[in-house]
C-alpha cells in the first residue's frame, strides 16, 4: 500500500536512506519534568507518532507541529486552572497568558506570547503552505516552552538570577581579544558570551566570535560563523576561562592576548567587516541569530529536562 511506502523526499533531498537514520535525525521525543501533568505528556506522544509517520508522508511534520501548538494552548489552560485563576469560558489564550504574568518571569511570558502567535498562524492559515523540515528544530523549543509553563516562579527566578551572575562575571570577556584553545588547535576570538545554562549539571552554552585572516568582502558567506561551546567545570580567571567541553571532555582554555600581531589581525578583520554592505551584514547576523536560537533550544532540550 502507498501509505506505507517511504516518502521519496527523505532520500532524494535529505539523503536519509533508512527509517532508522530518519528517526535518529528527525524524531524529537518528549522530555518533561515531574510537574508537567501526565495528560500533557500523553498528548505529546501523538506528536511523536505524527513525526514518525512523516517518513511515509512528508506533510505530517506540519501536522505534528500544529499539534504541538495545541498542546501549548492546553498547557496554558491547565496551568491557569491549577493556580485557581478565575477565567470565563470565553477567555482568550492571550488573556490567560496575561493572567499568568505574576506566576512566571517577564521573559518567559514574552516567549509564551510568541508561541501563541505561531499557534494562531497554524490555526488560521491564510493559504496552503508546507514548512516541512524547516520547523524540525522548533520541536525542541516548544518542548522547553511547555516545561516552563509548569515551573514554579521561585525556580524560574533562581535560575535567571544565577545566570545573571554568570553574565556579570563574563561581561569583562566581551569585545576584547582572546585565544581559544580546543582540540589541540588555537583560534583568535574577539568575544566569549554565555547564552544559557543548566543549574543541575552546571553546564553553560557559550558563543565565541572568531577572527580570521584574509576575509573577502564580496559575500556574507565568507564571514565565519561563531563557535558554539557547551562547557562544564568552569574556572573563571582574571584574564580568561578554563573548562571542559561537553563533546570531548577535553580541556578548553580561553585567555587574553595582547600580542601585536594578533591585535593587527583583529583590527584588519574589523575594518574588512565594515566594507560589507549593510544588507550583507544583516543577512549574516540574521543567520547567526537563528543559529544561536537553535543551539539554545537544543541545549535546553538536552540538559534542562
Confidence of residue 125 (pLDDT cuts 50, 70, 90): confident
Give pLDDT tens digits for 86-111.
Answer: 988 889 999 999 999 999 999 999 99
Percentage above 90 pLDDT, the chain: 68
- Residue whose C-alpha cell reads 524529537 in the numeric block: 28
Q: Where are the domains of the chain?
A: 2-151, 165-303
Q: Three-state DSSP class for 252?
A: strand
- Residue whose C-alpha cell reads 544583516 in the numeric block: 282
Backbone angles phi, psi at 235, to 5 degrees: -115, 105
Task: Give the C-alpha distances (Å, rounded to integers) separating 233 from 4, 196, 291.
Answer: 48, 15, 25
DSSP 8-state assignment for residue 239: T
Decide if pLDDT at 116 tops 70.
yes
Decide if pLDDT at 216 tops 70.
no
In the predicted model, what is the mean pLDDT of the chain? Answer: 90
Cell of 94: 492571550
Confidence of residue 304 (pLDDT cuts 50, 70, 90): confident
CB neighbour burial string for 230-241, b if at least 16 within 10 angstroms, e if fewer:
bbeebeeeeebb
- Residue whose C-alpha cell reads 580567571 in the numeric block: 237
Give pLDDT tens digits for 238-284.
Answer: 888 999 998 778 899 999 998 999 999 999 888 887 777 677 778 88
- Residue whose C-alpha cell reads 523526499 in the numeric block: 9
Q: Three-state DSSP class for 165?
A: helix
Confidence of residue 217 (pLDDT cuts 50, 70, 90): low
Give pLDDT tens digits for 177-189.
Answer: 999 999 889 999 9
Amino acid at each position: 500500500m502507498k501509505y506505507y511506502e517511504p516518502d521519496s523526499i527523505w532520500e532524494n533531498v535529505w539523503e536519509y536512506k533508512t527509517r532508522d537514520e530518519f528517526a535518529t535525525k528527525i524524531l524529537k521525543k518528549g522530555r518533561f519534568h515531574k510537574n508537567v501533568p501526565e495528560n500533557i505528556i500523553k498528548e505529546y506522544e501523538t506528536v511523536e507518532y505524527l513525526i514518525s509517520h512523516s517518513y511515509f508522508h512528508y506533510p505530517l511534520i506540519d501536522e505534528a507541529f500544529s499539534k504541538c501548538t495545541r498542546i501549548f494552548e492546553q498547557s496554558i489552560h491547565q496551568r491557569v486552572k491549577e493556580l485557581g485563576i478565575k477565567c470565563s469560558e470565553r477567555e482568550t489564550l492571550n488573556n490567560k497568558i496575561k493572567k499568568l504574568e505574576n506566576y512566571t518571569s517577564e521573559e518567559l511570558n514574552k516567549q509564551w506570547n510568541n508561541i501563541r502567535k505561531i499557534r494562531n498562524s497554524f490555526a488560521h492559515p491564510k493559504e496552503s503552505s508546507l514548512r516541512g523540515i524547516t520547523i524540525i528544530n522548533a520541536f525542541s523549543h516548544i518542548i522547553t516552552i511547555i516545561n516552563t509553563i509548569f515551573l514554579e516562579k521561585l525556580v524560574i527566578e533562581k535560575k535567571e538570577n544565577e545566570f545573571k551572575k554568570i553574565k556579570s562575571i563574563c561581561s569583562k570577556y566581551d569585545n576584547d581579544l582572546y585565544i581559544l584553545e580546543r582540540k589541540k588547535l588555537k583560534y583568535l576570538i574577539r568575544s566569549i558570551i554565555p547564552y544559557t545554562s543548566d543549574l543541575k549539571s552546571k553546564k553553560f552554552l557559550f558563543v565565541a566570535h572568531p577572527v580570521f585572516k584574509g576575509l573577502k568582502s564580496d559575500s556574507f558567506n565568507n564571514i565565519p560563523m561563531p563557535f558554539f561551546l557547551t562547557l562544564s567545570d568552569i574556572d573563571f580567571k582574571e584574564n580568561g576561562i578554563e573548562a571542559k567541553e561537553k563533546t570531548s571532555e577535553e580541556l578548553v582554555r580561553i585567555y587574553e592576548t595582547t600580542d601585536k600581531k594578533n591585535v593587527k589581525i583583529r583590527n584588519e578583520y574589523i575594518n574588512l567587516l565594515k566594507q560589507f554592505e549593510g544588507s550583507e551584514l544583516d543577512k549574516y547576523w540574521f543567520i547567526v541569530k537563528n543559529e544561536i536560537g537553535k543551539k539554545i533550544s537544543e541545549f535546553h532540550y538536552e540538559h534542562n529536562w
